[in-house]
Amino acid sequence: MLKVPDHQVAGHQGGHGQPGPLIDDSGRFYKPLQDDDRGAIEAAFYTSFSSNTRVPDHIRRFFPVFHGTQLLDASDGSSQRPHLVLEDVVSGRSHPSVMDVKIGSRTWYPEASEDYIQRCFEKDRKSSSLRLGFRISGLQLYGSEESGLWKPERKLVHNLSTDEVRVVLKKFVSSNSPTDPNLNPDCSLASSVYGGSSGILAQLLELKSWFEDQTIYHLNSCSVLMVYGKKKVLKGGSSDAEVKLIDFAHVTEGNGIIDHNFLGGLCSLIKFISEILTSPDECTTKVYLQNSDNKNEEILASSNECTTKVCL
Query: How far does the chain reach from its first CA to its final CA, in angstroms?
Result: 53
Indicate which single residue of 2, 74, 183, 216 sits in contact with a copy of itself (rule: CB under 8 A).
216
271 binds a copy of itself (CB under 8 A): yes
CA dihedral 99, 170, 268, 113 (to 10 degrees): 30
Let me know how long the chain is: 312
> Which CB, 121 or 150, lies closer to a copy of itself?
121
Least distance in angstroms from the C-beta of 65 to a copy of itself: 24
Map the footprint of a copy of itself across residues 144-163, applying CB under 8 A: 162
Instruction: Give the H/E segment covering residue 61.
Output: none
Indicate which single residue of 3, 58, 60, 125 sits in contact with a copy of itself (rule: CB under 8 A).
125
Indicate which single residue of 40, 44, 306, 310 sits in contact with a copy of itself (rule: CB under 8 A).
310
Instruction: Give yes or no for a contact between 83 and 31, defined as CB atoms under 8 angstroms apart.
Output: yes
Burial of 12 from C-beta contacts in 10 A (0-12 / 13-18 / 19+): middle
Which stretch, 58-66, 103-111, 237-245, 287-295, contacts a copy of itself (CB under 8 A)? 103-111
Burial of 123 from C-beta contacts in 10 A (0-12 / 13-18 / 19+): middle
- CA-only gyration radius of the chain, Å: 19
Indicate which single residue of 67, 131, 231, 232 sits in contact with a copy of itself (rule: CB under 8 A).
131
256 binds a copy of itself (CB under 8 A): yes
In the complex, the residues that contact a copy of itself under the rule CB under 8 A are: 54, 105-106, 110, 125, 130-133, 162, 212-213, 215-216, 254-258, 260-261, 263-265, 267-268, 270-271, 310, 312
